[in-house]
Structure 1
Amino acid sequence: MTDLMTLGQRIRFYRTGARLTLDQLGAAVGIAGSQLSLMENGKREPRLSLLQSLARTFGVEVADLLTVTPPTERAALEIELASLQKSAVYRSLGLADIRPSRGMSDETLRSVIGLHRELARRAREAIATPEEARRANTELRQHMRTQNNHIAEIEVLAEEAVAAAGYRVGALTHRAVGLMAERLGFELIYVNDLPHSTRSVTDLENGRIYLPPASIPGGHGLRSMALQAIAHRVLGHHEPDTYADFLRQRLEINYFAAACLMPLSQSLTFLRAAKAERNLAIEDFRDAFGVTHESAALRFTNIATVHLDMPVHFLRVGEDGALYKGYENDGLQLPTDVTGSTEGQLVCRHWSARTAFTRANRTTEFYQYTDTPTGTYWCSTQTGTASSEEFSITFGVPFADAKWFRGRDTTTREASRCPDDGCCRRPSAELADRWSHRAWPSARLHAHILAPLPSGTFPGVDDTELYDFLEAHSAR
Structure 2
Amino acid sequence: MNRASSQVAPSTGRLTQPRSAVVPDESRKPAPDALTIGRRLRHVRQESGQTLGEVAESVGMSASALSLIENGKREPRLSMLTALAEALDAPLADLLATAPPSRRAALEIRLERAQRADSYQHLGLPAVKIGPRLPMEALEALVGMHEAMAAVQAERAATPEHARMANAELRERMRAADNYFGEIEAAAADLLSAIKHPGGPISRASVDRLAGHLGYSLVHISDLPGSTRTVTDMTHKRVYLPQPEAGQHDSRSLALQAIGHLVLGHQVPADYAEFLSQRVEINYFAAALLMPEQDAVARLQEAKQSKDIAIEDLRDAFAVSYETAAHRFTNLATRHLDIPVHFMRISRDGVIYKAYENDGVSFPRDATGAIEGQRVCRQWTARRVFEQPDLSQAFQAYTDTRSGTYWCTAVVDRTPEGLFSVNVGVPYQSVKWMRGRETTHRSKSRCPDPTCCMQPPADLSSRWGGHAWPSARAHSHLLAAMPPGVFPGVDDTEVYTFLERHAPTD
With normalisation by structure 2, the TM-score equals 0.68
1:332 is paired with a residue whose SS is coil
Contact kept in structure 1, 2:200 and 2:292, CA below 8 Å: no
Most deviating of 328-337 and 432-441: 432-441
Aligned partners of 2:152 and 2:365: how far apart in 1? Answer: 32
- What is the CA deviation profile of residues 320-348 of structure 1, one whole-angstrom value per residue up to 9, with x for unaligned ones? 11010011110100010111000010000
Aligned partners of 1:132 and 1:309: how far apart in 2? Answer: 34
* Counterpart among 293, 314, 318 of residue 264 in structure 1: 293
Give the match for residue 341 of structure 2. Answer: 312
Give the match for residue 309 of structure 2. Answer: 280
Give the match for residue 174 of structure 1. Answer: 204
Q: Equivalences for 1:46-445 in 2 at 5 Å?
A: 123=153, 126-216=156-246, 221-445=250-474
1:423 is paired with a residue whose SS is helix
Distance apart, 1:122 and its partner CA: 7.9
Contact kept in structure 2, 1:231 and 1:253, CA below 8 Å: yes
Aligned partners of 1:208 and 1:156: how far apart in 2? Answer: 25
Contact kept in structure 2, 1:211 and 1:222, CA below 8 Å: yes
Q: Name the CA shift for 1:319/1:445 in 2 (closer, same or farther; >3 Å).
A: same
Distance apart, 1:125 and its partner CA: 8.8
Contact kept in structure 2, 1:192 and 1:212, CA below 8 Å: yes
Task: Give 1:205's aligned amino acid.
Answer: T
Relative contact order: is structure 1 or structure 2 higher (C-alpha 8 Å, sep ≥ 6)? Answer: 2
Task: Give 1:210's aligned amino acid.
Answer: Y
- What is the CA deviation profile of residues 37-75 of structure 1, one whole-angstrom value per residue up to 9, with x for unaligned ones? xxxxxxxxxxxxxxxxxxxxxxxxxxxxxxxxxxxxxxx
- What is the CA deviation profile of residues 4-47 of structure 1, one whole-angstrom value per residue up to 9, with x for unaligned ones? xxxxxxxxxxxxxxxxxxxxxxxxxxxxxxxxxxxxxxxxxxxx
Aligned partners of 1:304 and 1:145: how far apart in 2? Answer: 13
2:170 is paired with a residue whose SS is helix
Task: Give 1:419's aligned amino acid.
Answer: P
Distance apart, 1:377 and its partner CA: 0.5
Q: Name the CA shift for 1:220/1:195 in 2 (closer, same or farther; >3 Å).
A: closer
Most deviating of 437-446 and 402-411: 437-446
Q: Which runs of 5+ in 2 are unaligned?
A: 1-144
Q: Name the CA shift for 1:220/1:430 in 2 (closer, same or farther; >3 Å).
A: closer
Contact kept in structure 2, 1:195 and 1:465, CA below 8 Å: yes
Aligned partners of 2:156 and 2:338: how far apart in 1? Answer: 43
Contact kept in structure 2, 1:370 and 1:376, CA below 8 Å: yes
RMSD of Structure 2 on Structure 1 (CA): 2.0
Contact kept in structure 2, 1:313 and 1:329, CA below 8 Å: yes
Contact kept in structure 1, 2:219 and 2:239, CA below 8 Å: yes
| Structure (1 or 2) with the larger CA radius of gyration | 2
Contact kept in structure 1, 2:253 and 2:286, CA below 8 Å: yes
1:209 is paired with a residue whose SS is strand
Alignment: residue pair count: 359
Task: Give 2:337's aligned amino acid.
Answer: L
Aligned partners of 1:305 and 1:444: how far apart in 2? Answer: 38
- What is the CA deviation profile of residues 99-136 of structure 1, one whole-angstrom value per residue up to 9, with x for unaligned ones? xxxxxxxxxxxxxxxx99xx799849942221011101
Contact kept in structure 2, 1:385 and 1:391, CA below 8 Å: yes
Distance apart, 1:208 and its partner CA: 0.3
Q: Which runs of 5+ in 1 are unaligned?
A: 1-114
Task: Give 2:309's aligned amino acid.
Answer: L
**Does residue 1:458 correspond to 2:496, yes or no?**
no
Provide runs of 4+ in structure 1 moved above 4 Å. Answer: 119-122
Most deviating of 343-352 and 448-457: 448-457
Distance apart, 1:365 and its partner CA: 1.0
Aligned partners of 1:352 and 1:358: how far apart in 2? Answer: 10
Most deviating of 381-390 and 291-300: 381-390
1:311 is paired with a residue whose SS is coil
1:417 is paired with a residue whose SS is coil
Most deviating of 206-215 and 451-460: 451-460
Task: Give 2:225's aligned amino acid.
Answer: P
Contact kept in structure 2, 1:125 and 1:456, CA below 8 Å: no
Contact kept in structure 2, 1:124 and 1:241, CA below 8 Å: no
Most deviating of 342-351 and 129-138: 129-138
Q: Name the CA shift for 1:144/1:470 in 2 (closer, same or farther; >3 Å).
A: same
Most deviating of 136-145 and 417-426: 417-426
Distance apart, 1:411 and its partner CA: 0.3
Contact kept in structure 2, 1:129 and 1:453, CA below 8 Å: yes
Task: Give 1:387's aligned amino acid.
Answer: P
With normalisation by structure 1, the TM-score equals 0.73
Aligned partners of 1:254 and 1:264: how far apart in 2? Answer: 14
